[in-house]
Amino acid sequence: MRGRGRFVGDIHMPGLREVAFLRSPAAHAKISSKAKSPDHAVDTFFSEDLIGVSPIVTRSSIPGYKVSQYPILATDRVRFVGEPVAMCVAKSRAIAEDLIEQVEIGYDDLPVIASCAGGRRENAELLHPEWGDNLFLETFFDSGVDEVIAKAPISVELEMTCARQTMHPMEGKGVLAWWDDRADQLVVHTSTQVPHMIRAGLAECLGIAQAQIRVAPPDVGGGFGYKCLLQPEEVAVAWLAATFKKPFRWTEDRREHLVAGANARQHEYHVKAYADAQGRLLALDAEVSVDTGAYSVWPFTACLEAAQAGGNLPGPYHLPAYRCRTYSVATNKPPFAPYRGVARPGVCFAMEQVIDAIAQKVGREAWEVRRDNLVPASAMPYTNITNKHYDSGDYPEALVAAKDMIGLEAFRAGAKRDDRGRYLGIGFASFTEQSAHGTKVFASWGLPLVPGFDQAHVKLTPDGALEVAAGIHTIGQGLETTLAQIAHEQTGVPLKHIRVTLGDTATTPFSTGAYASRGIVMSGGAVSRAAEVVAGRIKSIAAHLLQVEPAAVGFAEGRIFAANASVTYEDVGRAWYLRPDQLPETVNTAGLEATEGYKPEVDTGVFSYATHAVRLAVDPETGLVEILDYAIVEDCGRMVNPMIVEGQTYGGAAQGIGTALFEESPYDDNAQPLASTLLDYILPGPTELPTFRIDHRETLSPYSAHGIKGVGEGGAIAPPAAIVNAINDALSPLNATIRQVPASPQRIREAIRRARPSQATESRRDVAR
């Protein structure tokens, strides 16, 4: 708040050179020629200059998965607009960009795959000719539905789509790399959520031993999933530093983020749902296509989205029969990355519309049908049809609470339009959020790097302060605060004397990083364990100093007590480090520090859940939507810090509202991106967002330390579903429905126009006037 944050772009270093990338203007082309400007040949780099560098290759253990070779700089082909083709270095970014303009690249256009349908068409141009088709992966799940379908009294069929999006942490990606001569080590300051994984990825691409790479992320200005990938630019800049032994930096600018940054969210759903006459689900028959882009990101693979979409579609409901086919289609667009919520905003968007459509069909209130289908508390723990193991909670209760908070009964009794002629509606969305899923789950998704035990190191200093180090990195989610709180609870050391260090591979133990809402559960668990161990050793030294049994010692008010006598943490620290002569022979020689690992015993994940309810107004003439009230009832288990839980939820919900109403990266038929500025790509601002209301439940998870469940992503999952359901509720008098996000004013106007009795009568009426 005083301008003292230190982000990648803020670092000053003598001799630092800035890097700019020449990016492909073509979505799909053969490179026919490459020419450097003769004046700047030494500052210009093509793929063939990057000797010893391997492309980014993400393998998956899932059978049938096809591997892409994601070049650091394009070799003979470009596969999306924005793909790096060359890089130039100079003393300033402006000059580096000048140099970029002097590079001449010849492109021979190839037919472009601009959509899932285009990629799956017979005889479609192949992005990766060796594959034989354009599918990273096709999956099929069938519990046996045909019999149920044949007998089901009610069915609905919906086609739904989510637009392509970009993620927009306010700080773009950035990386600064330099060579530490003394340590003979490549040092990489990169804006990342996953420093330890980046080290592994860089080592693989550069052919350098991991020990010779230190990844030390500075402050990170937001991540949301975008910064848990190894990016080609990151490899390229690291290569420059390792090769020339000088500091180099690239900072992503907003246009690069919009045009070339990893994309997310673009799903297409075709769902047939079957129910009984009351609206109880009998079966779901679904097809999901994900517009996955040209290459697989590392390490999350190009099939994580589709795998999660297929696995999570049944949602928080009791579903007896399920069939689902998924396609991860390679297209001439930037690679697909796991954005906050990963596939679940799309999944929830699809499933919750299905519930509303069934309710409409059976003539009941949507919330009632939802309640009747939710897994009841009495069934917990519950294993669903896709083998998700819901650990705890009362899903219907949260729904009913949200329904009461939003005031559904009073709303139904009131007017359907406001005094400005706007149509009013209420929509609901319920979901579960699998968080902190562990080894087995990730292994089942075929990831090349499967997270196991997260580790933390805790140490009492000679002057009685506590140092906590964890390999996870903070991206603004308040992790230092929550980890410090956990360490405090175990050791009693006052919060102001606890210092948390995160992320630096040189000073922290291994963690795969901050993603999948796992931070608080995994690293929190590791800190808790390490702190517990250190607490025990503090107690035994204190007990010796107080001449009592360790069991008689306790922590209170920042001191260590035995009955009325007490010592300070500094007394304990001093004894171990400076006055070992005061210690007994039997003292634990591991001292006042410990590294411990943690993963939940049942590592199928712990499931947070929530219901979002929204009341909104739709202007039928302009298509503009105003959110009038937004209520959230959520349960993330034990809340370590309620303010942070709420901050995460509001922030997620704000992004979800962006998905629902505003954010879209449109591509034309030639896969040219059409949003290159924040005037084309609308991020919701303070006037577009409501004052959220939130209510908490605290059902402790039986599987995690302290019963904590993850909370980072949930907020983003429900808004598209809740908002579209509310819009459709509002527009029901017009018989208009929208099945697409963002529900932009233009799409809403189109939906209303489509629902008019007929265009012909309309124009006749015009003439009559």
Partner 1 sequence: MKSSAFELKHARTLGEATELLAGADGNAKVLAGGQSLVPMLNLRLARPKLLVDIKRASGFRELAADDKVFSIGAGWTHAEIEDGVLEDPTRGLLRSVAHGIAYRAVRNRGTMGGSLAHADPAADWVSTLAALGAVIVAQGGEEQPKRYAAESFVDGAFSTKLGESEVIAAIEVPRLSADASWAYQKICRKTGEFANAIGVAVLDQKAGIKRVLAGATSGSPALLPETAARLAEAGPGAACEIAAEEIRRVLPNLDIDTQELHAVAVRRALATLGGRQGR
Partner 2 sequence: MTQVSMTVNGGGVAADVEPRTLLADFLRSELHLTGTHLGCEQGVCGACTVVLDGRIQRSCITFAADCNGADVTTIEGFDDDPTMQELREAFSECHALQCGFCTPGMLTTARDIVLRLGDIDERALREELSGNLCRCTGYVGIVAAVKKVAAGRKPNVAAAVAPVTVSRFEGSRSRPASLLATNGPVTRSSAAAKAAPIGGSAGGTSIEERVRVAAPPEQVWSILSDLKRVVPCVPGAEITSLDGEDLVGKVRISLGPIKVAFNGQAKVGMDSSKREGWLTGRGRDSGQGSSAAGSARWSVIADGPSASLIAVTLTWKLSGPLAQFNRAGLVQDVVRRLATAFAENLEASITGAAPPRRKTTLGGLGLIWSVIKARLFSRQ
Q: What single letter denotes the amino acid at residue 551?
A: A
Burial zone of 145 (CB within 10 Å; 0-12 exposed, 13-18 middle, 19+ buried): buried
User: Of these, 59, 120, 246, 254, which contacts partner 1 (CB under 8 A)?
Assistant: 254
Q: Binding partner of residue 662 among partner 2, partner 1, none, CB under 5 to 8 Å per kind? A: partner 1
- CA 285/CA 312 separation, integer angstroms: 13
Q: Tell the smallest beta-carbon distance from residue 687 to partner 1 (Å).
A: 4
Instruction: Establish if 30 lies at the interface with partner 1 (CB under 8 A).
Output: no
User: Of these, 256, 397, 635, 663, which contacts partner 1 (CB under 8 A)?
Assistant: 256
| Segment near partner 1 (CB under 8 A); pick from 41-49, 93-101, 161-169, 176-184 | 93-101
Q: Tell the smallest beta-carbon distance from residue 678 to partner 1 (Å).
A: 10
Q: Binding partner of residue 111 among partner 2, partner 1, none, CB under 5 to 8 Å per kind? A: partner 2
State which of positions 736-755 bind partner 1 (CB under 8 A). Answer: 744-746, 749-750, 753
Q: Tell the smallest beta-carbon distance from residue 696 to partner 1 (Å).
A: 31
Q: What single letter denotes the amino acid at residue 176?
A: L
Instruction: Establish if 734 lies at the interface with partner 1 (CB under 8 A).
Output: no
Q: Tell the smallest beta-carbon distance from residue 260 to partner 1 (Å).
A: 12
Joined tokens for residue 98? 């000048």
User: Of these, 413, 679, 760, 768, which contacts partner 1 (CB under 8 A)?
Assistant: 679
Would strands 389-390 and 382-383 be described as parallel, antiparallel, or unpaired?
antiparallel
Q: Report yes or no: 677 and 262 within 8 Å, Cβ to Cβ.
A: no
Q: Which residue has the tokens 């309640």?
A: 371
Instruction: Establish if 674 lies at the interface with partner 1 (CB under 8 A).
Output: no
Joined tokens for residue 637? 């288990």
DSSP 658: I
The closest of 516, 512, 449 to 298, measured between CA atoms, is: 449
Side-chain half-sphere CA neighbours of 385 within 13 A: 24
User: Of these, 443, 450, 682, 734, which contacts partner 1 (CB under 8 A)?
Assistant: 682
Instruction: Establish if 419 lies at the interface with partner 1 (CB under 8 A).
Output: no
- CA 584/CA 544 separation, integer angstroms: 7
- CA 419/CA 438 separation, integer angstroms: 52
Which string of x and - marks every residue 627-666 that binds partner 1 (by CB under 8 A)? -----------------------------------x----
- CA 655/CA 345 separation, integer angstroms: 11
- CA 682/CA 51 separation, integer angstroms: 41
Q: Binding partner of residue 621 among partner 2, partner 1, none, CB under 5 to 8 Å per kind? A: partner 1
Q: Tell the smallest beta-carbon distance from residue 258 to partner 1 (Å).
A: 11
The nearer residue to partner 1, 624 or 700, going by C-beta atoms, is 624
The nearer residue to partner 2, 478 or 525, going by C-beta atoms, is 478
Mark out the alpha helices in 509-641 (DSSP H runs).
Answer: 519-546, 569-577
- CA 317/CA 351 separation, integer angstroms: 10
User: Of these, 11, 624, 628, 700, which contacts partner 1 (CB under 8 A)?
Assistant: 624
Q: Tell the smallest beta-carbon distance from residue 617 to partner 1 (Å).
A: 15
Q: Tell the smallest beta-carbon distance from residue 614 to partner 1 (Å).
A: 18
Angle made by CA atoms 653, 658, 663, in degrees to the nearest 5: 155
Q: Tell the smallest beta-carbon distance from residue 684 to partner 2 (Å).
A: 9
Which string of x and - marks every residue 33-72 that binds partner 1 (by CB under 8 A)? ----------------------------------------
Q: Report yes or no: 35 and 104 within 8 Å, Cβ to Cβ.
A: yes
State which of positions 684-703 bind partner 1 (CB under 8 A). Answer: 684-688
* Contacts with partner 2, residue ranges (CB under 8 A): 1-7, 9-10, 12, 25-27, 81, 92, 94, 101, 109, 111-112, 168-171, 219-222, 224, 253-255, 259, 475-478, 643-644, 646-647, 650-651, 653-655, 668-670, 672-680, 683, 685-687, 689, 691-692
The closest of 198, 214, 241, 229 to 87, measured between CA atoms, is: 241
Q: Tell the smallest beta-carbon distance from residue 98 to partner 1 (Å).
A: 7
Which residues are registered as beta bridge partners of 406? none
State which of positions 481-540 bind partner 1 (CB under 8 A). Answer: none
Q: Count of residues for the chain?
A: 769
Q: Binding partner of residue 745 among partner 2, partner 1, none, CB under 5 to 8 Å per kind? A: partner 1
Q: Report yes or no: 27 and 80 within 8 Å, Cβ to Cβ.
A: yes
The nearer residue to partner 1, 245 or 753, going by C-beta atoms, is 753
Instruction: Establish if 761 lies at the interface with partner 1 (CB under 8 A).
Output: no
Instruction: Establish if 765 lies at the interface with partner 1 (CB under 8 A).
Output: no
The nearer residue to partner 2, 404 or 626, going by C-beta atoms, is 626
Q: What single letter denotes the amino acid at residue 389?
A: H
Structural element, H or E, at residue 260: helix 254-260
- Evaluate the omega torsion of the peptide bond into residue 153 and state whether it is cis, within 30 degrees of 0: no
The nearer residue to partner 1, 444 or 672, going by C-beta atoms, is 672
Mark out the alpha helices in 213-343 (DSSP H runs).
Answer: 232-244, 254-260, 304-312
Strand ranges, E, within 76-231: 77-78, 84-90, 104-109, 135-142, 154-162, 174-180, 185-190, 213-215
Q: Binding partner of residue 26 among partner 2, partner 1, none, CB under 5 to 8 Å per kind? A: partner 2
Q: Binding partner of residue 622 among partner 2, partner 1, none, CB under 5 to 8 Å per kind? A: partner 1
Instruction: Establish if 16 lies at the interface with partner 1 (CB under 8 A).
Output: no
Q: Report yes or no: 230 and 198 within 8 Å, Cβ to Cβ.
A: yes
Which string of x and - marks every residue 140-179 that binds partner 1 (by CB under 8 A)? ----------------------------------------
- CA 682/CA 46 separation, integer angstroms: 35
| Segment near partner 1 (CB under 8 A); pick from 252-260, 338-346, 387-395, 663-671 | 252-260
| Residues contacting residue 551 through CB under 8 Å, at least 6 positions apart | none
DSSP 227: G
Q: Report yes or no: 679 and 255 within 8 Å, Cβ to Cβ.
A: no
Binding site for partner 1 (CB under 8 A): 92-94, 97-98, 101, 253-256, 621-622, 624, 662, 676-677, 679, 682, 684-688, 744-746, 749-750, 753, 766, 769
